[in-house]
Amino acid sequence: MGAPGRVLLGLQLCALTRAAYKFWVPNTDFDAAANWSQNRTPCAGAAVEFPADKTVSVLVREGHSVSDMLLPLDGEFVLASGAGFSALDTGSHLDCSTGGPALFRDPDRFCWHDPRLWRSGDAAHGLFSVDAERVPCSHDDVVFPSDASFRVGLGPGAGTVRVRSVRALGQTFTRDEDLAAFLASRAGRLRFHGPGALSVGPEACADQSGCVCGHAEAQPWICAALLQPLGGRCPQAACRDPLRPEGQCCDLCGAIVSLTHGPAFDLQRYRARLLHAFLALPQYQGLQMAVSKVPRQPRLREASGAKADTEIQVVLVETGPETGGAGRLARALLADIAEHGEALGVLSATARESGAPVGGGSAAGLNAPGPRAGLAGALAAALLLLLLALLAGALLLRRAGRLRWRRRDEADPAPAGAPLGFHNPVFYAADPAEALPAPQPDVGSFSRSYFVNPLFGEAEAEA
């Protein structure tokens, strides 16, 4: 009986200390079209130029025929099996006889702090990460491709980058001494550059409620790298009163649920519950969700009286044309916490929603008119049609002689002794109950009022 208990304890410890993996995406391969100025690899007989003042390692996977090649001052070609270069006259290939040489793009354009250049190892359908957490956090394991060449910029100005471990060129570095020796070697200098520093530490996240990413100081550099293609400015959100979650660079449309928790809360278990019990439902298929532990803003701590300096942030955004799903899911999560919060280890929860969509934008999938706007338009159209029908009926009756109106001075004199009043079919009936029909039950979201029409002698409904 003792052995199974030890195995179970070991599994629990592994679960508590499991770190996330972040994979570096871009490469500096010769055969990757994205690395060339015209987004295509050099054709046979082309002239090839590398930036003369750059340092780069380039993996070559295939054989290539070139007419001329300008090499960088410092660099290396890593030749795969069967790869190589041969000389060929450009005149024998018409496709390469015109235009300038094929230019290898700047290998220093890839920055560690750019969220677009990383891929999470635990990605799942419907899940995403806020911008700051797309870059490796302090408890993450970082993996660089073993089957591709790469180059990474570690700056400028972002200070020391700290992660749990780094794997590169078939080696895993968990100690600063080993990593520093690699970075100082020729292989390390070809792949890492810039004034920033890279450090590793053996600590994994041992808190089952999750750990803060640790990018508060680096977030300005993360956002600058992310928004550089947009001129450093965020696109305008397509809704009123947009939200900006902790760790996100720009405003978005959707909802945010913030949780305070006790010691029994398990972040991975709660994320799995949201993914399978809520996000998998058909009515929430157009939503994406991010769940993580973030620093709790001081003003929120003061307003709520909570002593905790962290909270669980659940971000809900809409990716499809339908709107309102994020708000509905946020309210469903609050209801679920009200019923099961104690079992989940959740102490309290609050929710915020962005406003109605505006214009025709689709930054967060909010590009369709809301249901209220459609209902209001339908009611207005129905009321206009009813008024036109009444007016047309009155004109037809007047032409047929069944309805007349004259000025007061043209009216026939009343007979002597006749009462000065008149019989109003709207306000008078033999039985008062006949003049006020019983209210009808509501159908859908429409309300109706009823009256007796003196022209047609039957109950009419006015929308």
Mean pLDDT of the chain: 79
* % of the chain with per-residue pLDDT over 90: 59
**pLDDT band per the 50, 70, 90 thresholds, residue 356:** confident
Q: What is the pLDDT of residues 429-462, one digit of tens each?
A: 444 333 333 333 333 333 333 333 444 444 444 4
Helix (H), strand (E), coil (C) string for 110-128? CECCCHHHEEECCCCCCEC
Residue-wise pLDDT for 142-167, tens only, equals 999 999 999 999 976 657 899 999 99
Residue ranges of alpha helices (H) inside 92-159 are 131-134
Beta partners for residue 55, in sequence order: 74
pLDDT digits (tens, 9 = 90+) for 314-329: 999 988 777 899 999 9
Nearest CA-CA partner of 124 in 276, 2, 228, 266? 276
Mean pLDDT of 237-263: 96
424 or 354: whose pLDDT is higher?
A: 354
Choose between 228 and 449: higher pLDDT: 228
Question: Rounded to the nearest 5 degrees, what angle is found at the Cα of 18, between the Cα atoms of 168 and 133?
Answer: 70
Rounded to 5°, angle at Cα 124 from 123 and 125: 135
What does the alpha-carbon distance between residue 284 and residue 333 come to, in Å, rounded to a whole number?
Answer: 12
What pLDDT, on the 0 to 100 scale, is given for residue 64? Answer: 94
Residue 124 pLDDT: 85
- The whole-angstrom separation of Cα 198 and Cα 37 is 30
Average the pLDDT over 353-368 and give the result: 58
Residue 399 has a pLDDT of 60
Q: Cα angle at 276 between 274 and 280, to 5 degrees?
A: 100
More confident residue, 392 or 354: 354
CA dihedral defined by 144, 150, 153, 158, rounded to 10 degrees?
-10
pLDDT of residue 92: 55
Which pLDDT score, from 0 to 100, does residue 158 have?
Answer: 57
Task: Name the residue among 318, 267, 268, 294 with its Cα closest to residue 126.
Answer: 318
If one compares 374 and 255, the residue with the highest pLDDT of the two is 255
Q: Where are the beta strands (DSSP E) in 186-309?
A: 192-193, 197-200, 254-261, 287-295
Report which of residues 365 and 386 the model is more confident about: 386
**Crossing angle (nearest 10°) for helices 325-344 and 267-277:** 130
Over range 401-418, report the average pLDDT: 44
Q: Is the pLDDT of residue 5 over 60?
A: no
pLDDT at 25 over 60: yes
Cβ neighbour number for residue 255 with a 10 Å cutoff: 25
pLDDT digits (tens, 9 = 90+) for 32-60: 999 999 899 999 999 999 999 999 999 99
Give me the mean pLDDT over the 212-235 stretch. Answer: 94
Distance (Å, rounded) from C-alpha 407 to C-alpha 387? Answer: 24
Q: Which of 89-98, 228-237, 258-267 has the weakest average pLDDT?
A: 89-98
Look at residue 8 in the predicted model and tell me its pLDDT.
35
State both tokens at 200.
């590793």
Q: Which carries the bigger pLDDT value, residue 138 or residue 461?
A: 138
pLDDT band at 393 (very low <50, low <70, confident <90, very high): low
